[in-house]
Amino acid sequence: MKVPDGVPNPQNQVCLLQKSLYGLKQSSRQWFHKLLIFLKAQDFVQSKNDYSLFIKKDSTNITIVAVYVDDIIITGNNIGCISQLKAHLHDAFSIKDLGILHYFLGLEVNYIDEGIFLSQTKFTKDLLKESKNQSFKSVVTPLPQNLKLSNTEGQLYEAASYYRTMVGKLNFLTNTRPDLAFTVQYLSQFMQNPRIPHAAALQHTLNYVYSTASQGILIKGSDQLQLQAYSDSDWASCPNSRRSITGYILLLGSSPISWKSKKQGTVSRSSSEAEYRAMASAASEVTWLVRLLEELQLTSLKPVLLHCDNISAIHIAKNPVFHERTKHIDIDCHFTRDKVLEGLLQLTYLPTKNQLADVLTKILPSHQHYQLMSKLGMSSLPSLRGGVNNIGYNPINSNKKG
């Protein structure tokens, strides 16, 4: 390494590095800056919608690089361009080529006839090994139906750090498990002072994870990809704050690519207002995803269908003079209306029983839970190997196989 500025060095000597930069706060930032300079020198352009994504394209070829610290995914439509980039990376940084992507940051990638199957089976098993209670039981939903947890009921849980650790790990598991998104955001509300009922609910969730350890999502390919969104809310469902829950999920073709479950920041005066706020959150995610996909040369996505099961909320979003019902709503919630007028979104009504985002706002009966998860393409890898006709969401069968 170079001698620091201001230090006398008449013989132009260098310093011997005795400690790796790994572990220092600035190391990841400095590494990313150096990699950024290298990729730009190779004519890559940094995405304006995701700064860790780099794209190089011409009239016929596209090469994509996704970066997470020193873990890099390279893909594209020309093997020659990919090989050339890897050779340049090796010359500059002495990289280790791991071949076709199978494992990345805890995500397992399996290639089957129907598409790409993403799961976190190893991470799930490691998580369960850390559980204080190893006597798992088979359960069919992430939480008991109609469960209501309070900030004040029950004695304080002694192992608060254990509760926080397990909920944090479950949060990482939601990267491939939309069925856990609502449960994790619900349990996360009690991280500060967990109580015995909260710990019991956590154990129930771990039982469900144990019963569905091999579950993941199937990403299917298609010649004609359509982006569509589903938004939903559960009005005033929080017994502590009376705030509503927002849930949305976005599908590219028939495959889920983005989802979220979150408690709303303010109290909604009606179910229509709660649904309207949920639509605004979904509209924001749609706007970002459309820009990102257009950078990846996936165009002709507009208008994006946004499905909602509340007719009043759809009327609010479509009608710019609906003052009496909307004058108290924050201006940022009218983001949906702006996107409808721009032609980015097309609002459609669908019955609640077909609302895929319903699973992100509440605990559903087991039959409805399975039905929605199956529509989202969730399954276990063993059943996928048996053929496309065996694809289905059935945690009890998965448990018997494992």
Helix (H) or strand (E) holding 366: helix 366-375
Cα–Cα distances in Å, from 263 out to 234, 258, 279, 358, 367? Answer: 9, 17, 14, 14, 25
Structure tokens at 4: 């620091």
**Rg of the chain on CA atoms, in Å:** 24
**Cβ proximity of 108 and 119 under 8 Å:** yes
Tens-digit pLDDT string for the chain (402 aa): 788 888 888 888 888 877 666 666 777 778 888 999 999 999 999 999 999 999 999 888 999 999 998 889 999 999 999 999 999 999 998 888 888 999 998 899 999 888 899 999 999 999 999 988 888 899 999 999 888 999 889 999 999 999 999 999 999 999 999 999 999 999 999 999 999 999 999 999 999 999 999 899 999 887 778 999 999 999 888 777 889 999 999 999 889 999 999 999 888 888 888 898 999 999 999 999 999 999 998 888 989 999 999 898 888 887 765 555 566 566 666 788 888 888 999 999 999 888 999 999 999 999 999 899 888 888 887 544 433 333 334 443 333 333
What's the CA gap between 181 and 260, in Å, rounded?
7
Multiple choice CATH, 27-99, 3.30.70, 3.40.50, 1.10.357, 3.30.310 = 3.30.310
Name the architecture of domain 223-358. 2-Layer Sandwich (3.30)
> Which of helix, strand or coil describes residue 139?
coil
Nearest to 207 by CA among 15, 8, 395, 3: 395
> Which of helix, strand or coil describes residue 399?
helix
pLDDT reported for residue 393: 40
Domain map of the chain by residue range? Answer: 27-99, 117-216+381-401, 223-358
> Who's near 388: CB < 8 A, 6+ residues apart?
113, 114
pLDDT reported for residue 376: 87
